[in-house]
Amino acid sequence: MTIRKNWVLTAICAAILAGCGGSDHSTPTTTTAATDPDTVADQRAAALVAQMTLDEKIQMVHGIGAQLAPLGGDGTIPGIPRLGIPDFYTTDSSTGVLQILNGVVQPNGSTAMPSPLALAASWDPTLAHDYGAQIAKELRVRGFSEGLGAGVDLARELRNGRTWEYLGEDPVLAGYMIAARTQGTQEQKVIATIKHYAANDQETNRYISNSIIDERTLRELSLLPFEIGVKVGQPGNIMCAYNLVNGVKSCQNSYLLTDVLKNEWGFKGKVQSDWYMAITDTEQAANAGTDEEEGGSTNDSVGYLGLVPTFFNQKLEAAVTAGTVPMTRLNDMVQRRLRTMIRVGVMDSPATLGGTIDQAAGDTATYNAAIQTMVLLKNATPASSSTPVLPLNASTIHSIVVIGGHADAGVMAGGGSALTPPRDGINAVKCLVDPSTMIAVGIPACATYYNSAPLDAIRAKAPNATVTYLDGTDANAAAAAAAAADVAIVFGTQFETEGADLSSLSLPNSTTDPANQAYDQNALIAAVAASAKRSIVVLENGTAVTMPWIDNVHAVLEAWYPGMQGGPAIADVLFGTVNPSGKLPITFPMADTDQPQKAISPTDTNVVYSEGLQMGYRWYDAQNIQPLFPFGYGLSYTTFGYSGLSTSMDVSGNLTATLTVTNTGKVDGAEVVELYAALPPAAGEPPRRLIGWQKVQLAAGSSKQITISASAERLAIWDVTLGQWRIPAGAFTFYAASSSRDSGALTSTRTLSSKVVPISD
């Protein structure tokens, strides 16, 4: 989703909402004795559908535009007061509540959480649950019934401008994390969305690109996080994508929407189109399984602002009247919307508009998330020392120089519809070009920075040290300052946004990102590393970065886009108040060309998944390519040991792995124990796949026996001939590891018989 053309399309008439007034939120009394919540929701929804006129049914399945009063959200569906159906408001919420009224961003006090990719780096479903709950609380306070976060398209192409919005490269990690976030959201009586369904893995040619992907790869990788998210999280809303999949638009693809999502997975919620141009054919979209068009319009003959065609208002009514879209299909579309509103609690307890967000609670939530998502990538011991450079000891440091990345002003955020605006509406950093400059249609080229300066937080942690700041534009001056200081901390930034892909994973310079960069960041880091006694690089970025200077710096902390309390969170990790526990949810390659897709073609709209099952770390393993940092990797200020791995299976093929984890260091910390499986060679799979994990908190010197469970589905392959999941026969090797490339992993081997697996996630 774009930010709905909000910087290009001007005022939208708020009067479109006339007639949406107050409503009686009572619903007809049902005579059923059913008590099961799903059955009750189905029956109540059916009773409402039976009372509706054709016009009322049509009203329920399309928005009437975006950025409209009173809320300035992304979509509005007026309610039906006589049936107790409330007005319905939806808006972007990947990292917080985005409100844009008539093209103007509304500072609403919303909390900006760390990026979803950062959330994935926590490997913590409990945190994902709380992350979803926090954003949902704020959505509901502002009056929204539905949030449009978050995405689970896999990081197949790391240069994708939306990598920062998604949950990494592994379908199991992404699937269970989105399921937890979904549950946290819907517990707050806000409908959760999982998007963009499916294989929406780059922004180049975003409206017309065609993902060409074989069935096995589609099922085992691209669709799997959605499958887990649907079955475990039970979201009320699935958003279909702009792109085509194997020649058919995602929102008009009956295989994706009806055969797989609704019939096979049993999804009972609604399918919502992405905003504008996701649908091009009324009958095909409706009959394929799309239940709601957004942003929609009041008049299909005019479209959105007279510019973008729309299809689910008068055009859909004509199709239903003509019988080309059956009335039963329209009834199902409405049924799905209403039963979702009932099941999640929106129908009986609609949000009150325009409440005030608890900013103190938001600050606590975003800080707690940030400190759990940062990944320590390197922590070497300087030649002049006997201990690693991190954590910093404020009592022994006399001078620190902080360099670059606007660390004196704030922390960077990603761009596009997932951006949460600063609370005061003021960008902490002045853009280097005209702020109206667009990187793509409706997408500003200027990065947003939150007013949470790492420099201030570092000074607070080291009150007795002299802490100076250089902006990084003069590499020679920075190198000289680094040579004179006890510690040099360089901040590297990489702006990613919806609407445009990166040209490279290299840290950008003034040529590759003139809106946000005034100097060559790699050259700056190299110069500082060559002279500093102790050099630390802190990265604020939305995807992997290449690091030509990695051998010459002492430490690297991956902070991602850390959210509104990023400054204090970074400082607390650097000084050891917090022991980092994040692990990479994506592989960091040595070079751009180490990826399966060597470059993103600006002209070829066919995106061929030629690597097949070798996506993400599977590619590097299968091709024997050494990554810069492997999937699942992350250091700590302590050390951990594993012992005593044993595995067992029940009669259904579900695996249980048990082992003991020991904190062998002197600092309390958390470890993510990752469980991988190597399938029998005849299965034709890449070398290893993640099947489960557990994050465990341990005091220094303590041990704990943990259990990691993996359902039979995690051991299965998609059998194209059978059209089912099947466990292949042969020897399976299981690895309890600290990363996908952990050479010291514990192993256990079991021989399994071939078995067709009924999906039961």
Q: What is the 3-state secondary structure (H, E, C) of 614-655?
A: CCCHHHHHHCCCCCCECCCCCECCCCEEEEEEEEEECCCCCE
| DSSP category for residue 136 | H
| Predicted confidence (pLDDT) at residue 30 exceeds the cutoff of 70 | no
Whether the Cβ atoms of residue 194 and residue 591 lie closer than 8 Å to each other: no
Angstrom distance (rounded) from CA 21 to CA 78: 9
Angstrom distance (rounded) from CA 403 to CA 524: 9
Mean pLDDT, rounded, for 60-85: 97
The amino acid at residue 282 is T
- The proportion of the chain whose per-residue pLDDT surpasses 70, expressed as a percent, equals 95
Angstrom distance (rounded) from CA 230 to CA 183: 11
| Predicted confidence (pLDDT) at residue 33 exceeds the cutoff of 70 | no
Q: How many helices (H) does the chain have, and how many strands (E)?
A: 17, 32
Whether the Cβ atoms of residue 277 and residue 308 lie closer than 8 Å to each other: yes
Q: Could you tell me which of 136, 140, 143 has the C-alpha nearest to residue 68?
A: 143
Angstrom distance (rounded) from CA 312 to CA 316: 5
- The proportion of the chain whose per-residue pLDDT surpasses 90, expressed as a percent, equals 93
User: 760 pLDDT band (50/70/90 cuts)?
Assistant: low
Who's near 87: CB < 8 A, 6+ residues apart? 20, 23, 76, 77, 78, 79, 350
The amino acid at residue 761 is D
Parallel, antiparallel, or unpaired for β 193-197 and 237-240?
Answer: parallel
| Predicted confidence (pLDDT) at residue 24 exceeds the cutoff of 50 | no
Let me know if 671 is exposed, middle or buried by CB neighbors in 10 A (0-12, 13-18, 19+): buried
Whether the Cβ atoms of residue 675 and residue 652 lie closer than 8 Å to each other: no
Higher model confidence: residue 244 or residue 9? 244
| Predicted confidence (pLDDT) at residue 561 exceeds the cutoff of 90 | yes
DSSP string over 652-668: T--EEEEEEEEE-SSS-
| Predicted confidence (pLDDT) at residue 232 exceeds the cutoff of 70 | yes
User: 96 pLDDT band (50/70/90 cuts)?
Assistant: very high
| Predicted confidence (pLDDT) at residue 93 exceeds the cutoff of 70 | yes
730 torsion bin: left (phi>0), alpha (psi -120 to 50), beta (else)? left
| Other beta carbons within 10 Å of 758 | 9
Cα torsion angle, 612, 618, 619, 624, sign? negative
Domains assigned to the chain = 36-344 (3.20.20.300), 374-585 (3.40.50.1700), 638-757 (2.60.40.10)
Catalytic positions, written as ranges = 274
Whether the Cβ atoms of residue 570 and residue 564 lie closer than 8 Å to each other: no
Q: Helix %, strand %, coil % for the chain, to 5?
A: 25, 20, 50
Over the stretch 715-746, which tens digit does the pLDDT of each residue have?
A: 999 999 999 999 999 999 999 999 999 999 99
User: Which of the residue ranges 23-37, 295-309, 527-541 would you say has the lowest mean pLDDT?
Assistant: 23-37
576 torsion bin: left (phi>0), alpha (psi -120 to 50), beta (else)? left
Predicted structure pTM score:
0.95
User: 305 pLDDT band (50/70/90 cuts)?
Assistant: confident
Angstrom distance (rounded) from CA 66 to CA 53: 25
| Predicted confidence (pLDDT) at residue 442 exceeds the cutoff of 90 | no
The amino acid at residue 237 is N
Whether the Cβ atoms of residue 197 and residue 261 lie closer than 8 Å to each other: yes
Which residue's structure tokens are 């950008």?
Answer: 508
User: 6 pLDDT band (50/70/90 cuts)?
Assistant: very low
| Predicted confidence (pLDDT) at residue 759 exceeds the cutoff of 80 | no
| Predicted confidence (pLDDT) at residue 309 exceeds the cutoff of 90 | yes
Size of the chain in residues = 761
User: 583 pLDDT band (50/70/90 cuts)?
Assistant: very high
CA triple 413-196-312, angle to 5 deg: 120
